[in-house]
Amino acid sequence: MAAALECWSGRPSTDEDMVEQVLMKNNDRSEAFSSSSPNPPTKWQRIGRNFAGAVAALKTSLNPDSAGTGAAATRPDRLVWGAIVRHLTQLYPGSQLPDRLISNTRRHFDSLPTSYWQVAFDVKDVLLHVRLIDQASSDDLPAVHVQQVQGDAGEEDGVVFQLTFASNSSLSWPAMSEALDISSICCKRIQIFEKKGLTLGVVTVLVQPGNEKLFKSRIDAALKSVSKKPRNAGVKLPFGLCRCQEGVCQNASENVDGGNGLETEMARRVQLPVPLAEESFSVVVDEWQTVRSGGDDLGPWLLSSDEVDIIEHTGPNSFRGIYRGIRVHMKKLRGCGKGNAFEIDIRQDLLQLMSYGHKNILQFYGICIEESHGLCVVTRMMDGGSVHDLIQKNKKVEFKDVMRISLDVAEGLMFMNHHGVPYRDLNTQRILLDSQGNACLGDMGIVASCKNAGEVMEYETAGYRWLAPEIIAGDPESVTETWMSNVYSFGMVIWEMVTGEAAYSSYSPVQAAVGIAACGLRPDIPEDCPKILKSLMIKCWNNCPSERPEFSEIISILVKHKQQAR
């Protein structure tokens, strides 16, 4: 590590003073470079703007859906479409292409996200996709095609299949893989395309010899089990969310001892927009604990205090409680206590994500204005504490547990990133565990108090340990987390679980921050670290954000090697 810091240690004192800005002198990234400062750190601001520009360019290039509608934005589509037409012409030599074929193929591409265009599938594959989607639409059941394909040179023993499926409802490969319940398969490549309730999946799997028939026989049942249509028990709410009706919870008391009855009874999965708009709304409460404005937007997420029973304190501002027979965690919001008038700000995109019912994202039930304690945020109770607590207790986390927790976290982050929402300040304290050790991403600031607009937000000064270099070095006033910075932080979470240590403990915050951002400083990986985790951490810490693996690739790697942890 010392060698990595040579470029830092030789800096003149004037630069060292500026480096203090990297760690947010006021403990808040947005306050790092004050416009009122008599000597603004122009050099670091310029470097930060360059980093911010690079990140913005990368986001634009990797998310064509968010680009404008001008000619530049449509050029890639035209190039791909031109190639498709040329290939179709080769299939119909010496004759004019049927108009219906052209229109159906074009409509097929328009019905799928831009990422489908970018893959540049062979025209025969495209026609297969069209047929499967038509079949799924006409039969109102998932359609699937299984084909044995040639494996890579030097492929390990097994048979490689390409599984192509289409469904009129949302489904995920992790859920389908769990439904298959076959330990003898591993995923080599996963491509899921989803838009407006339509799902097209192309998955390459390696099946151990002798299990081919078992694999094929279970595919149809697995598809049907994970793509069931939502029941009519739910009522549609604002923001595209669903909520269970009163009658759904009549037997909820049976689940007090650990069941997830309320979650599983919540109306199943309406389609979320991609990407989710980063919007929020405000709710104003007077000193008599009466909602004066914003109540219509909040709707059913405002829980009656009669529905929530506080059982015991779990901390200075937190409680264990019961909501409709389900054990819940309740956290008091600072500045929103009994007898105070206050205003809260609720992130609409986070509300949708945390209310969706994803098993790897903390379930949000609502807010409750409790008579004695003021406003409380009510979420699912995670009895296992945080991953940080687990590390403090056991020092090192066992390999099988590292693999399980990493896979859970990766699936939660992929779901968020797919909907255009990066996780802010990912670290081991924000990853929560249930009683069985299953992990989920904790509260990401869905409800915030905006009572004092000028108040500096609380920021953990040790947070630099997980932050990606482009976030540390970026312009604090404009830089934002991305899926790429989430991947970097994910690698740091794995390192902490493997070592049981805090990264950069021998360096001051300023030394470590400059080492990470400017000198490529990374933690030392223990020699006895499993190769799969070592390789994954190195990939996640790539100094070039666009070279880091996407979470779909990370999940594929983890699923493939998960069996080694059993």
241 lies in the same domain as 369: yes
Tell me if 202 is assigned to some domain. Answer: yes
Among the residue ranges 24-28, 307-311, 325-329, the one predicted with the least confidence is 24-28
What is the pLDDT at residue 340?
77
pLDDT-derived band at 541 (thresholds 50, 70, 90) equals very high
pLDDT-derived band at 130 (thresholds 50, 70, 90) equals confident
369 lies in the same domain as 387: yes
Q: What is the distance of C-alpha 461 from the center of its chain?
A: 24
* Greatest pairwise CA separation for the chain in angstroms: 82
Judge whether 335 and 342 are in contact, CB under 8 Å: yes
139 lies in the same domain as 283: no
Tell me if 176 is assigned to some domain. Answer: yes
Q: How many domains does the chain have?
A: 2
Among the residue ranges 80-84, 237-241, 335-339, 372-376, the one predicted with the least confidence is 237-241
168 lies in the same domain as 275: no
Among the residue ranges 57-66, 118-127, 247-256, 418-427, the one predicted with the least confidence is 247-256
Other CB atoms closer than 10 Å to residue 257's CB: what's the count? 6
558 lies in the same domain as 454: yes
pLDDT-derived band at 487 (thresholds 50, 70, 90) equals very high
Which residue type does 237 have? L
Q: Which residue has the higher pLDDT, 224 or 55?
A: 224
Tell me if 63 is assigned to some domain. Answer: no
Tell me if 194 is assigned to some domain. Answer: yes
220 lies in the same domain as 245: no
Tell me if 85 is assigned to some domain. Answer: no
| Average pLDDT value over all residues in the chain | 74
Burial class (CB in 10 A: 0-12, 13-18, 19+), 446: buried
CATH code at 507? 1.10.510.10
Judge whether 423 and 441 are in contact, CB under 8 Å: yes
pLDDT-derived band at 255 (thresholds 50, 70, 90) equals very low
359 lies in the same domain as 266: yes
Last residue of a domain, one of 196, 226, 256: 226
User: What is the C-alpha to C-alpha distance for residues 434 and 252, in angstroms, rounded to an integer?
Assistant: 19
Which residues does 544 contact at the CB level (< 8 Å), separation at least 6?
none
pLDDT at 173 over 70: no
Q: What is the pTM of this model?
A: 0.57
Last residue of a domain, one of 193, 226, 259: 226
271 lies in the same domain as 401: yes
What is the pLDDT at residue 39?
47
Q: Convert the pLDDT of each residue in 5-43 to its tens digit.
A: 444 444 444 444 433 444 443 444 433 334 344 444 444
Most confident option among 78-82, 93-97, 177-181, 360-364 = 360-364
Tell me if 482 is assigned to some domain. Answer: yes
In angstroms, the Cα distances linking 565 to 24, 178, 452, 540 are 40, 17, 49, 21
Helix axes 71-91, 99-110, angle to 10 degrees: 140
The residue segments making up the domain with residue 196 are 99-226
355 lies in the same domain as 259: yes
Tell me if 287 is assigned to some domain. Answer: yes
Rg of the chain, C-alpha, whole Å? 25
pLDDT-derived band at 417 (thresholds 50, 70, 90) equals very high
253 lies in the same domain as 210: no
404 lies in the same domain as 366: yes
Judge whether 471 and 513 are in contact, CB under 8 Å: no
178 lies in the same domain as 295: no
Tell me if 3 is assigned to some domain. Answer: no
- Segment 189-209 shows an average pLDDT of 82
What is the pLDDT at residue 117?
75
Last residue of a domain, one of 226, 250, 268: 226
Burial class (CB in 10 A: 0-12, 13-18, 19+), 46: exposed
What is the pLDDT at residue 350?
93
Judge whether 302 and 291 are in contact, CB under 8 Å: yes
What is the pLDDT at residue 74?
41
What is the pLDDT at residue 83?
67
Residues in the chain: 566
C-alpha dihedral over 94, 98, 101, 104, to 10 degrees? Answer: 150
pLDDT at 397 over 70: yes
